[in-house]
A = this chain, B = another copy of it.
Amino acid sequence: MGAKMSENKISENLLEDVNVGIPEEVEKAIIGLSEANNIKELRSTLEAMNPADAASALELLTPEQQVTVFLTLPKDIGAEIFTYVDSDIRVRLVQHIASPGTTDKIRQDFINMFEDLAADDAIDVLDELPANLVEELLSRCTKDRREQLNAILKYPPNSAGSLMTVEYIILPENMTVAGALAQIRRQGKRKETINYCYAVGSGRKLSGVLSLKTILLSDENVLIKDIMTSPVIFAYTHEDQEVVAAKVKKYDLQAIPVVDKEERMVGIITGDDIMDVVEKEDTEDFEKMAAMEPAKDEYMKSGIFVLARNRIKWLIILMVSSTLTGFIITRFNNLLASQVILASFIPMLMDTGGNCGAQVSTLMIRGMAVGDIEPGNWAMVVWKELRVALAVGAALCLANIIRMLLFVKELSLPVVLVVNVTLIIIVVFAKIIGCLLPMAAKQLKFDPALMASPMITTIVDAFALFIYFAVAQRILA
């Protein structure tokens, strides 16, 4: 268990080592048992571990051992481990269950375990299986379970409905606390979370929320509607998961109820699922901002073809856009031929412009994603960036003049002037473009993350070259 790491080891690795894995000696022991094919010991080792760690340990075994060990675990422990198990192993298990050679007892045990999973966990499993195995698995479930899961599967991907679980406790708002406690005791075992209960009025219409704590600490004769918190923050089934995550963060919720168009209660989304959404959305932003299509799978599991396909589109678009920079240089070929020294500053000017633009566009994209910056404030932002650009530009010019004096041979005053005047203009342009384009994208309902470093760099490069040669022609020619 990660929790057994010594305090010293932790302080050494404060910044870097955020992986919480199983300790090395346990890992070695498991690999040893796997090599000896000691199924019995493997099973009892996994049984004794935390479910999340046991799921990691399972990955150390051979594919055959994974199936054998897992299917012979006690049912309740197996079910707990299953929710943490890697998707490859899940697919392998379901394939094994679906194969004709499997005994009826093993098949039925597995189906029973699947029936007992919370609906949102079961949906996670189905999401990872190929379509034929989804049908295979659903066809073996009870009718109730099949209908329940199909109802969630019909919601669009990334909607609140697709994330929710349907195990929650609703209490009629006219019930007493005593009645509520009795109902919770009756139904609680089968529900994923009962930390929050939801009060409903006529027609299952959501009317309030109560923590289990509130119920437990209230007088037995009080009515639910008198102690519930109302109005309650909720999500609609079709709402996008990003919007739902933003609500959960803003209102510091631990779970959010999901309602249909008529505001009838249909499910809840728990905090751990929201945390997964936040992580996934941030990863997508990182990918888009580096000019890639968001990946479906983890890097280590993605094939060469998929990785190449995700990257090639934007590389080609950006490469073709650079035709423009080629045109600009060609147009000023004569100037360049007569003043070859100008060429040696092109990379520095392009890179600095690109970096300045990347800084601002990143701040804008992230600021809009977490809700700090609104496109409506563009005038204020531009005014701010203009002043920052002048300060940054002045500092860069100073550093650049020192750099040129130290490192560049055969320097003339006009060349120093050309390079530094251009530098200031580029910095100001990059900062302004870097804040305006992401905000414009958001205003026009495009994803601002597309206006990140690579796109800004391409635009700033073309501008930088044009300004550079135009300034040079005026001063040098």
Chain A residues in the interface with B (C-beta under 8 A): 1-3, 7, 10-11, 13-20, 50, 52, 83-84, 181, 184-185, 188-189, 193-195, 211-213, 216-217, 231-234, 236, 238-240, 242-243, 245-254, 261, 271-272, 274-276, 278-279, 282-283, 285-287, 289-292, 295, 298-300, 304-305, 307-308, 311-312, 314-316, 318-320, 322-323, 325-327, 329-330, 333, 336-337, 340-341, 343-348, 350-352, 354-356, 358-359, 361-363, 365-367, 369-374, 377, 380, 384, 387-388, 391-392, 395-396, 399-400, 403, 407-409, 442, 445-447, 453-454, 457-458, 461, 465
Q: Give the oligomeric copy count.
A: 2
Kindly list 11 other residue pairs between chains A and B, CB separation below 8 angstroms, not including A20-B247, A318-B352, A343-B343: A193-B213, A195-B213, A254-B271, A286-B289, A286-B365, A290-B361, A315-B392, A319-B352, A325-B344, A326-B344, A336-B343
Give every chain B residue within 8 A of A373 (Cβ-Cβ).
299-300
CB distance A254 to B272 under 8 Å? Answer: yes
Docked pose: A205 CA to B168 CA in angstroms: 34
**Cβ contacts under 8 Å, A454 to chain B:** 351, 354-355, 358
Q: Flag if A231 contacts B316 (CB, 8 Å).
A: no
Chain B, Cβ-Cβ closest to A297: B372
Cβ–Cβ < 8 Å partners of A217 in chain B? 185, 188-189
- 8 chain-A/chain-B pairs, Cβ below 8 angstroms: A2-B250, A10-B239, A50-B233, A249-B276, A307-B384, A333-B340, A343-B343, A347-B350
Q: Is the CB of B243 within 8 A of A362?
A: no
